[in-house]
Structure 1
């Protein structure tokens, strides 16, 4: 009997030892599965909201509640991460994600009609707030998992790849689960995926906690202090990214219209278009991951080239050529914007002092979604007033993006950042 009980315990200890030995891979895979579950759950909620009320505004609101909290919460999330430590914030954020997802699953059997819609939207809002804290804390936490400074850049870039893979596979998984199991089980399985990173963090990780630098209470712990203390090159990176996103990061909001104009009214059009964008994002992320250490030291080259590629691809799309040409341009847009966002995050994380990295992650998210959110609104307004509508807007903003990229490449061609530090 003693041997019967001891054998599973020994096997469990061996498994834990193996997972801890390969903790970076373990954490990356757990985060990837959770990301796929998030997109699957978002897809299921969107279908339920559309089927229940038939109101497209609810779909827009569902997406807005997922993304807009970042603009409000990123600052406090960064401050808290630097103040109490990335691991504590990360674990709490994962539990909050789980609770928000459970609320979505419970909304199906416990409510109906408008009340059900409200609970689903509240669940999405909870996921949006919690994911902001999770992303901010994770960006700082990963530096505690690497042994050498040169490993930090490629490891950070790997999360961009895994995010875009989850974005690619999550929606079809959500649709399949919804059709095969029904909404309650589909959303329950989405919630269950958050337990994997929680178990990984609590049971498998052995971070170098002694390396983490925390801020003290007071003005020195504020977001403004991080902005002033990060240095002029990193402030330029954040400002440039915000402007580049304002000019060229409008495709997420206009994806349905782009797919309709490029591929036609088929129900598969949006799926094909977003899949091509995601494939480009994955390819760009893989390329960045392989050259992370070198390109992070030359922000002008990295960010200027990404913005130039996106701008030229938008110009190419404005030519309104054959479908194959349009899809090729969409692929390049995905690659360029993914490298811009992941590259900015890479630069501000590996080249900022460790004590500032939580707040730098918050500032980066504000630049991404602040510029991107305004870009979608600006592009939508331009479509109604420019000759050529959508195609004229693509030409104008693509041209501006190309010029912006060329200017960055020229003006910052001599800028070099120092070696990466883990402290």
Structure 2
């Protein structure tokens, strides 16, 4: 009979997925709690945008460095250190509630989110390259990478209602404490339970050959276009994470549970798209124009539907489509840049991918918040949705038929 440890080693890819999923659920519980605290403490949508910006915009500062370090120092080393950084950043948020009040509390909550954003840049970059060390053959990499999109969005589904219920029943401290504790599980998993194929890792050298600019030049025109298009598409269509409390308040209801329902519906759409992408990852990874164009178009149509806001049920249906479209855009961009890039570049490609979709998303949140203050939320949906519709249609018409070659 096999021992539990031998079963874990045999199914180490699943073990890593489960640990990451549980950590993600705790993280989204904490994000929901922080968003609700900031929304009801300030009643200012710009504060929500700053909160999401503190999570996403650090990618503009350090994702390139994270990619360089991952390729140069090794993905496993960077992954473990980044996970400890996530735990520390989340712990700051947990102590902010009982110890501080007013502006000091808000400042520490934003600092906590900023540190989590910095550490996440390194964690996501290293994890992408680390996944290639857990698979037994290259053909297993596309479905395994897209499995993280499904697991991530399951965490998004479970985490927000958990955060909302904890807020209602016990207050925000418990939600933020769970967020901090959840990072200990993937740390223990990587250190003690996994046995990756370390001999397969290809590292870059020091100097200009290992720089971000070198990776940009060497990756090829097809991947450079994928990164550029992803950044622009996220700029006009990836503002819902930062403005979710405002959107839920105006379209669904103002309680923490309503926020949980709204974000969970988005997560259901994301999970659905993730499952479709996982099952078709082999051929979709070679057709980035088709994949990213359709996802951008779907997101834009959902935003235009949000502008109508006919009733609560219709708004939730549009939230489902927004979740599907944005999840496909982010997971699809990550899939293409990993599968079609040389192994020695994958850390830096993951870093540039984060700059594109999280940096673009952070700026998108600030843009949408500013527009909502001046022209209203529905008009903001209509304006950005119209831009996204034109962008998605242009990508399909120009690049929908083109294919990339995988790296073997």
Would you say how many aligned residue pairs link Structure 1 and Structure 2? 407
2:382 to 395, 403, 418: 395
Tell me how far apart the structure 2 counterparts of residues 35 and 280 of structure 1 sit (CA, whole Å): 17
Query: Does structure 2 conserve the Cα–Cα contact (< 8 Å) formed by 1:104 and 1:119?
Result: yes
Secondary structure at 2:310's aligned position in 1? coil
> What is the CA–CA distance in structure 2 between the aligned matches of 1:376 and 1:187, rounded to whole Å?
23
Q: Give the C-alpha shift of residue 213 in structure 1.
A: 0.7
Secondary structure of the corresponding residue to residue 206 of structure 1: coil
Cα drift, residue 178 of structure 1: 5.1
Deviations 1:373-395 (A, max 9, x none): 33333334445666xx4434333
Which position in structure 2 is the counterpart of 1:153? 142
User: CA contact under 8 A between 2:72 and 2:203: conserved in structure 1?
Assistant: yes
**TM-score, normalisation: structure 2:** 0.90
After superposition, the CA RMSD in angstroms is 2.7
Shift, 1:183, TM fit: 5.5
- Checking the alignment, whether the CA contact within 8 Å between 1:97 and 1:130 is kept in structure 2 is yes
Counterpart check, 1:408 vs 2:395? yes
Which residue is 1:418 aligned to?
405
1:182 CA displacement: 6.0
Is the contact between residue 284 and residue 338 of structure 1 (CA under 8 Å) also seen in structure 2?
Answer: yes
Distance 1:195 1:260 in 2: 33
Instruction: Report the CA distance between 1:67 and its aligned residue.
Output: 2.2
**Which one of the candidate residues 271, 278, 290 is aligned to 2:260?**
271
Q: Which residue of 2 aligns with 1:6?
A: none
Q: Is the 8 A contact 1:89 1:133 kept in 2?
A: yes
- In structure 1, what is the Cα distance between the partners aligned to 2:373 and 2:26? 37
- Give, in whole Å, the separation in 2 of the partners of 1:152 and 1:18: 21
Pairwise CA distance, 1:186:
4.7
Q: Quick one: distance in 1 between partners of 2:54 and 2:278?
A: 30
Q: What corresponds to 2:17 in structure 1?
A: 28
Q: Measure, in 2, the Cα distance between the counterparts of 1:44 and 1:111.
A: 16
1:40 corresponding residue in structure 2: 29
Alignment of structure 1 residues 30-109 onto 2, 5 Å? 30-46=19-35, 56=44, 60-107=49-96
Q: Secondary structure at the match of 1:245?
A: helix
Hey, what does 2:273 align to over in structure 1? 284
- Tell me the SS of whatever aligns to 2:3: helix
Question: What is the rounded CA distance, in whole Å, between the counterparts of 1:194 and 1:391 in structure 2?
Answer: 37
Tell me the secondary structure at the aligned position of residue 386 of structure 2. Answer: helix
Alpha-carbon separation, structure 1, partners of 2:221 and 2:49: 37
Q: Is the 8 A contact 1:150 1:420 kept in 2?
A: no
1:226 aligns with 2:211: no
- Name structure 2 gaps, 5 residues minimum: none
Kept in 2, the 8 Å contact 1:16–1:203? The answer is no
- Against the structure 1 CA distance between its residues 47 and 330, is the aligned structure 2 distance closer, same or farther, given a 3 Å change threshold? closer
1:126 aligns with 2:115: yes
| Deviation (angstroms), 1:256 | 3.6
Match of 2:322 among 330, 333, 337: 333
**8 A Cα contact 2:164 2:260, kept in partner:** no
CA distance in 2, matches of 1:382, 1:109: 35
Match of 2:288 in 1: 299
Tell me what 1:8 maps to: none
Output one character per residue of 1:359-386: Cα deviation in whole Å (capped at 9) or x when no partner. 1111111111232233333334445666
Pair 250,176 (structure 1): closer, same or farther in 2 beyond 3 Å: closer
Between 168-177 and 364-373, report the one with greater CA deviation. Answer: 168-177
Matched with 1:165 is 154
Greater mean deviation of Cα atoms: 168-177 or 190-199: 168-177
2:364 aligned to which of 375, 388, 391: 375
Please state whether the residue corresponding to 1:207 is helix, strand or coil. coil
Change over 3 Å in CA distance of 1:374–1:67 after alignment to 2: closer
**Quick one: structure 1 residues 21 and 43, their matched pair in 2 at CA, closer, same or farther if it must change by over 3 Å?**
same
Shift of 1:273: 2.4
Within 2, Cα distance between the matches of 1:228 and 1:90? Answer: 26
**The 10-residue stretch of structure 1 (412-421 or 300-309) with the greater mean CA deviation from structure 2:** 412-421
Q: Which one is further off, 345-354 or 89-98? A: 89-98
Shift of 1:102: 3.3
Tell me how far apart the structure 1 counterparts of residues 47 and 370 of structure 2 sit (CA, whole Å). 21
CA contact (8 A) 1:94 1:197 kept: yes
Show the counterpart of 1:316.
305
